[in-house]
Structure 1
Amino acid sequence: MIQVAFPWFFLLAPLPLIIWFLRKPKQPQLSPIRTPLFDNWQTLQANSNNTHSNLLARTFLFLAWLFLITAAARIQWVDEPIQLPNSGRDLLLSIDISGSMEEEDLKLHGKPANRLQVVKSIISDFIERREGDRIGLVLFGENAYLQTPLTFDLKTVQHMLDESEIGLAGASRTAIGDGIGLSVKRLRERAEQNRVLILLTDGRNNSGELDPIEAAKLAKHAGVKIYTIGVGADEAIRRSLLFGTTKFNPSAELDEKTLTQVAQITGGRYFRARSTEELAQIYELLDELEPVEDEPEIYRPIQELYYWPAMVALLFLMLPFIINFILDLTKRFSDLKNKPKKSNVRGVKNAN
């Protein structure tokens, strides 16, 4: 679809006609300033002193004016509307991949699975529902590192989550504070709106340089809301040849107190996931607490076309040069054709 940005420019279109009809005829005078364009227009009029030629010259000028007006009005081509991703949240997922996530105290599709496998399955469904949010992924063990920066490309985030493995960031210890600190650092680079961090762990902070409480204070200062999730069953059965089956608490190392304080400091909430079903319910609740924007943004690409009428206007202004050049060549060719040939006098004398 074609649109005009400044249509009021077309009101200036009849201005040259008004000037030509209202001006008083003047005696021809020599111009104090001579320019090539002016000389060529004078030459064009001098080459043919009739009404038809004068009308043609004025027509060229008027057409050049019209196309200049059209260029100034900015003709634009507007493409079909494109739906942009919703202006939703900047949401980082910070996942514990320390060695304790290998504990098989949860079930996935009715079969025993380690904690990381269950987390991947539940978070995959969560990511699919976040169309319109920028999602990023931070992994931490003994160290914390950015697996995926904030992006609208949810497929990439999903792929990078699937690629994460236990031990990639160190298997023996857990740096919860560093995981929060790195996440806050990445979120601070975004616009200050709807910054959310979802941190999932099954242990306590026993590594890294940053204390989780201090990291939470930094997050609050940066406007980042943190939801913490403690994952792992409260009871499991261990089988051995010597003692048979014994019950134990596989989540004994989970520091719920610190995770609760981290969430409270930033205005978030702490959740406890003792089973796969509870973990799924938590992420469904997070969808409700931090919903995706419903109204999409519409964008219509605009392509400027002003340079086309500007080029046509330049062509009409160059026509005097072109016509004068053609007339000059024609005149020279005619003069050469009509020029009398010299007789060969010496050849005549020799013949006599």
Structure 2
Amino acid sequence: MNNITFANPEFFWLLLVIPALAAWYYYKRKDQMATLKVSSVNGFKVTPSLLARLKPLLFVLRMLALTAIIVALARPQSTDVTNKTRKSRGIDIVMAVDVSGSMLARDLKPNRLVALKAVASEFVSDRPNDRIGIVVYASEAYTKTPVTSDKAVVLDAIKSIKYDNVLQDGTAIGVGLATAINRIKDSDAKSKVIILLTDGVNNSGFIDPRMAAEIAKEFGIKVYTIGIGTNGMAEFPVSVSPNGQFNYQMMKVEIDEGLMQEIAKTTDGVYFRATDNKSLEKIYDEIDELETSEVEELRFMNYDDKFRSLVILSFILLGIELILRKTLYRSFI
């Protein structure tokens, strides 16, 4: 009965007639039987027969039939619902990720880069209707994956991000932003967004980050900037031991927040600061809420009327009542 609905539930008001008829029947029950007036009943057996006791069954059958007809009038239906989602022009997003050596700092657990990858993967999984691309940068930049709707490809690209010798160490924020712009500038999406993350200051590259921000503005691209790193000191990798393990040392965290705020303001974006794992998760949740996609849901309803069986049941009950009335109870006194 979980999938049963009623097309005309207003007919259920007729069920109020049932208790009224029952009350009337009870009130008039003595008038339903023939009576004989005699001066004394001493010579009669006063115990009613089984047939007399069962006579109210005729009324019960009629009330059940009436109830079945009322429920049939309400048109019970089973409903099969099919949902299909059709998206309108969604959002194209490029995540520009700093992969310089400082991203191995341990102020986020287990380190900044691993924490970012976990949060970014969840962000991608929560946006099934958008296209997403990945750009990584240090002193230079390259596209890890172009803007695509294939989330499996994007998630695999995020998983494979790591600190290596492919890019020379350094932080070229302008180059990273320009590369992300180049991947998204020709998009026809209703909204174009870049999420630019860094943990340091712009110290390399040949493109001025402010100039890159102006270019993003010209193309209608909104840039959300994230500075990742705790306030104060953090454990930074400073060298590599003979066994290949990094050696860490406490150093001051330096993030060019003024530059990141300026980039965000120029492009109508927002600057965020992630000082720990929890705040980083919250930042991506906020961006997820700020950038929503318009999704159109198409719902197809298939109704199957179930009233026929109730109508048949009512006729059967009325038939039984009629047969009993015309046979067993025809000459009953």
Q: What TM-score results when the alignment is normalised by the length of structure 2? A: 0.58
- Pairwise CA distance, 1:235: 3.3
Structure 2 equivalent of residue 93 of structure 1: 95
Who is 1:104 aligned against?
A: 106
Contact 2:233–2:252 under 8 Å retained in 1: yes
Out of 219, 224, 227, which is 1:227 matched to? 224
Distance change (3 Å), C-alpha of 1:86 and 1:121: farther
Question: Which runs of 5 or more residues in structure 1 are unaligned?
Answer: 1-79, 108-112, 240-246, 299-352
Off by >6 Å, runs of 4+ in structure 1: none
- Identity, in percent, stands at 37
- With over 3 angstroms needed to count, the CA separation of the structure-2 counterparts of 1:82 and 1:265, relative to structure 1, is same
SS in 1 for 2:295: coil
Structure 1 residues 222 and 168 mapped into 2: Cα distance closer, same or farther (>3 Å)? farther
**1:274 matches 2:275:** yes
Match of 2:206 among 209, 213, 216: 209
Displacement of 1:88: 1.2
Q: What runs of 5+ residues in structure 2 fail to find an aligned partner?
A: 1-81, 237-248, 300-333
User: Which has the higher mean CA deviation after the structures are superposed, 165-174 or 216-225?
Assistant: 165-174
CA displacement 1:84-123 (0-9 Å, x = unmatched): 555310111110001110111112xxxxx11100000111
Who is 1:35 aligned against?
Answer: none
Secondary structure of 1:295 counterpart? strand
Pick from 133, 136, 140 the counterpart of residue 136 of structure 1.
Answer: 133
Contact 1:144 1:178 in 2 (8 A): yes
Query: Structure 2 vs 1, CA of residues 156 and 296 (structure 1 numbering), >3 Å: closer, same or farther?
Result: farther
Instruction: Judge which range, 278-287 or 83-92, deviates more.
Output: 83-92
**Aligned in 2, Cα 1:141/1:126: closer, same or farther, shift over 3 Å?**
same
How has the CA–CA distance of structure 1 residues 202 and 265 changed in structure 2, closer, same or farther, with 3 Å as cutoff?
same
User: How many residues in Structure 1 have an aligned counterpart in Structure 2?
Assistant: 207
Query: What's 1:175 paired with?
Result: 172
Q: In the alignment, does 2:155 pair up with 1:154?
A: no
Post-superposition CA distance 1:130-162 (Å, at most 9, x none): 110000000001111011111111111000111
C-alpha separation in 2, matches of 1:199 and 1:237: 22
Q: Tell me the residue number matched to 2:290.
A: 289
Contact 2:87 2:294 (8 Å CA) reproduced: no
User: C-alpha distance in 1, partners of 2:250/2:152?
Assistant: 39
Rounded to whole Å, the distance in 1 between the matches of 2:88 and 2:98 is 29
Alpha-carbon distance between aligned partners in 2 of 1:181 and 1:294, rounded to the nearest angstrom = 30
Matching residue's letter, 2:261: T
Are 1:195 and 1:223, in contact at CA under 8 Å, matched by a contact in 2? yes
Q: 1:236 to 1:81 in 2, by over 3 A?
A: closer
* Structure 1 SS opposite 2:200: coil
- Equivalents in 2 of 1:150, 1:205: separation in Å? 25
The one-letter amino acid paired with 1:176 is: I
* Structure 2 CA distance for partners of 1:102 and 1:297, relative to 1, 3 Å: farther
Q: Please give the alpha-carbon distance, in whole angstroms, between the structure 2 residues aligned to 1:249 and 1:267.
A: 33
SS of match in other structure, 1:292: coil
Separation in 1 of the partners of 2:295 and 2:155?
22
Where does residue 114 of structure 1 map in the other structure? Answer: 111
**Secondary structure at the residue paired with 2:296?**
coil
Mapped to 1, the partners of 2:171 and 2:211 lie a distance apart of 16
Q: 2-side partners of 1:218 and 1:297: how far apart?
A: 39
State the alpha-carbon separation in 2 of the partners of residues 180 and 237 from structure 1: 26
Give secondary structure in 2 for the equivalent of 1:106. coil
For 2:144, the aligned partner's letter is Q
Aligned-pair CA distance for 1:238: 5.9
1:165 aligns with 2:166: no
Alignment of 1:49-128 (within 5 A): 83-107=85-109, 113-128=110-125
Say which structure is richer in helix.
1
CA shift for structure 1 position 166: 1.0
